[in-house]
Structure 1
Amino acid sequence: MAFAEARHRLVCSCCSFTLIAELDYAKINERSAVHQGDVLLAMIGTIGNPTVVEIEPNFAIKNVALLKVPETQNSYFLQYYLSTPSVIAKMQSEAKGTTQKFVGLGYLRAFPISIPTLAEQQKIVEKLDELRTESERLESIYRQKLTALDDLKKSLLHQAFSGQL
């Protein structure tokens, strides 16, 4: 469970966490408990970046939109939908604040989402997953080729300046 007797800061590659007291954890989760299959969406700063909770969590959230996805909908479809450039642009254009932009819960509750049938959502998610996997594979190849070209350039320069060419 994400709590501690004193406040501590915990940082990982994607986000940071503050460990809170068990009583605070219970109080927050009375109102907004996170469950597997929920979608979390950043509301402050970097707006968007939706993620599906894939494990049964033991953490509390603050300043993050908690989207409860009914069984008639696919969490990953919602994640992909909220990641589209047009949705992100719309949210960013509606964001309030000067120093740190934010979108409010009222705005998110009223945000229109086109939801096809569950079967269609699943087909869309499968296709997008395939495309994501393929793009990641191609990106990996591209990075390997760039590294090989950089190594070749260094080798040629070394040979040229050492009189080996």
Structure 2
Amino acid sequence: MAKIDDSVKKKVPELRFKGFTDDWEERKLSEGTSKIGDGLHGTPNYSDNGDVFFINGNNLVNGKIVITKETKLVTESNQSKDDKLLNMDTILMSINGTIGNLAWYNNERVMLGKSAAYLTVSNFDKKFIFSYLQTSTIKNYFLNNLTGTTIKNLGLKTIRDTTLFVPTLEEQQKIGSFFKQLDETIALHQRKLDLLKEQKKGYLQKMFPKNGAKVPEL
């Protein structure tokens, strides 16, 4: 990556990949998405026999939809047309209470609640947008434009009007892939860390005497 001379006042980032020199263009998020919306504003009819998970913003963790034992089920008939139109270009984002948590949609059978918004990316690179939504600039914009008193809410109009500076599609793809690879590396090391913590816990139980024993198990 080449560092840009600070004295050159152009609409470009401080670091960028070699070979790219054009200014970035100011665009609204809505210009590069086919649809931005949110989920059901209410409570669906839950069903123990359902095969669709009803998710909200708290199910969006570290880029993934996380299903827990508390996650309720609904039947397919409860899904809206918008739920059924989610696709591999869709990014999910928490917009109520906790703001800005992101997850990729990977064809999971889900129904969205009101604290989960969806952004279906069309004219921008989806990996680029996913990374852009994590920047401090965008996060601060969201936090400064929340509504509500007790529970804060990020409105869909605010999301649609979000101002971005975007490069050519080729440069977007380079940047998006770069951060996607970083996320995958972080996830890999996190799994290793979790395994080491479990291993340590097991050793602590087996390498010290317990229950009146005079020697440890190992």
Task: For 1:62-81, list aligned pairs within 5 A.
Answer: 64-70=116-122, 72-81=123-132
Say if 1:154 and 1:114 are closer, same or farther in 2 by CA, change over 3 A.
same
Any idea what the Cα deviations from partners look like across 1:56-90, whole Å, max 9, x if unmatched? 989677565443423x3112221221133543343
Structure 2 counterpart of 1:110, from 161, 164, 167: 161
Task: Quote the offset at 1:50 in angstroms.
Answer: 3.2
The aligned residue for residue 47 of structure 1 is 99
The TM-score normalised by the length of structure 2 is: 0.54
Q: 1:43 to 1:145 in 2, by over 3 A?
A: closer
Mean Cα deviation higher: 147-156 or 49-58: 49-58
- Which residue of 199, 205, 209 corresponds with 1:158? 209
Which is richer in helix?
Answer: 1
Distance 1:103 1:150, change over 3 A: same
Distance 2:167 2:210 in 1: 61
The Cα shift of 1:106 comes to: 2.5
Give the partner amino acid of 1:155. Answer: K
Please state which structure has a larger fraction of its residues in strand: 2
What's the CA shift string for 1:77-119, capped at 9, x where partnerless? 2122113354334312431212211122232222112222211
- Please name the residue that 2:145 is paired with: 94
Q: What does residue 130 of structure 1 align with?
A: 181
Contact map agreement 1:39 1:51 (CA 8 A) in 2: yes
Cα gap change, 1:163/1:84 in structure 2, threshold over 3 Å: closer, same or farther? same
Distance 1:17-1:102 versus aligned 2 partners, 3 A rule: farther
Deviation at 1:43, TM superposition (A): 2.4
Matched AA of 2:172:
Q
Unaligned 5+ segments in structure 2 are 1-43, 48-52, 56-66
Q: Kindly report the root-mean-square deviation, in angstroms, between the aligned alpha carbons of the 2 structures.
A: 3.7
Give, as a single letter, the amino acid of the residue that structure 1 aligns with 2:98: T
Matching residue's letter, 2:99: I
Percentage of identical aligned residues: 20
Mapped to 2, the partners of 1:56 and 1:151 lie a distance apart of: 34
- Which residue in the other structure is 1:3 paired with? none
Aligned residue identity for 2:95 = M
Letter in 2 for 1:117: T
How far apart, in 1, do the equivalents of 2:109 and 2:76 lie? 15
Alignment gaps of 5+ in structure 1: 1-5
Native 8 Å contact 1:40 1:65 kept in 2: yes
Q: Which residue of 2 aligns with 1:7?
A: 45
- Structure 1 residues 16 and 118 mapped into 2: Cα distance closer, same or farther (>3 Å)? farther
Range that drifts further, 7-16 or 148-157: 7-16
